[in-house]
Amino acid sequence: MSSYYGPPWTLEGSVTPTGKREYAFDLAFSFRIAQPDGTVTAREHRHRYTGRASYPAKRPRIPDATSLAGWKIESPAGEALSFKSLGEARRALGIAPPK
C-alpha cells in the first residue's frame, strides 16, 4: 500500500504519559492530496488520530525464520533489496542477534 502526502503538511497535537509505559495521544495530520506521479493537488485533507498506546517492558522479537518471499525493501539509494528471510535481512544489515 502506498500513500502520497503533498506539501505543505503539518502534524500538530500532543502525546502525554498516563502511566507506566502508557501514553495518550491526540494528533492532527494536515496535507494536500498528491497523485502517484508526485503531482500535488490543491485539495486539502486532515487525519485525526486519538487514543492510548502502551508497550510491555520487553517486546517479543519477530523470528529470524519469518519469510520475506515476495518482499522488496527499498534502500535509501533507491536500490530494491530482497531477502529469503528476516534473519538473512538482519545479518545483511548488521543487526545483532538478541542476547
- Among candidate residues 6, 16, 14, 68, the one with its CA nearest the CA of residue 41: 6
Query: Domain check: are 71 and 90 in the same one?
Result: yes
- Which tens digits make up the pLDDT trace of 36-90? 888 888 889 999 999 999 988 888 889 999 999 999 888 777 788 899 999 999 9
Query: Domain check: are 48 and 68 in the same one?
Result: no
- Among candidate residues 94, 92, 83, 86, the one with its CA nearest the CA of residue 64: 86
Structural domain harbouring 87: 62-94
Query: Domain check: are 50 and 77 in the same one?
Result: no
Query: Domain check: are 68 and 41 in the same one?
Result: no
- In the prediction, which pLDDT does 66 show? 96
- In the prediction, which pLDDT does 69 show? 93
- In the prediction, which pLDDT does 1 show? 53
Domain count, the chain: 2
Query: Domain check: are 10 and 47 in the same one?
Result: yes
Query: Domain check: are 48 and 73 in the same one?
Result: no
- Which tens digits make up the pLDDT trace of 5-38? 888 899 999 999 998 889 999 999 999 988 888 8
Q: Is residue 26 part of a domain?
A: yes
- In the prediction, which pLDDT does 75 show? 78
